[in-house]
Structure 1
């Protein structure tokens, strides 16, 4: 894993992005404390793309009045 401070990250951003794209974990620290991690988009947390897309169909589909799942129940089903 590569850890750099904010100032170094500013001057070496292109190199750090290339490292992350190659699979290297890159953390950016402020005052020695890691605050940000660079990861390639494909390596985002499981379900992150679903969460980003959630709501993209708003207004394009209709759910019937007799739909029996609450939003939290539906979330649980979709996450399993």
Structure 2
């Protein structure tokens, strides 16, 4: 998709009525991410695991501990040792 320039308001006649049209502009950033699918495939990176937990009825301190622990590992990358 190419960039599109904005167009200021224009009035045009449609039969007996006048209509107004304008167009917003946009640009597209085609910058590749640092960690792409190709990057992961070249390093044989796979999904390690995920989990869910229901801590309904748990005391507040347990809920807080789970949140803190989860926030520390969320989105982390773990390198596998070479064989």
Q: Which has the higher helix share?
A: 1
Q: TM-score range by the shorter chain?
A: under 0.3
Larger relative contact order (Cα-Cα within 8 Å, sequence gap ≥ 6) = 1
- Point out the structure with max Rg over C-alpha: 2
> What TM-score, normalized to structure 1?
0.21
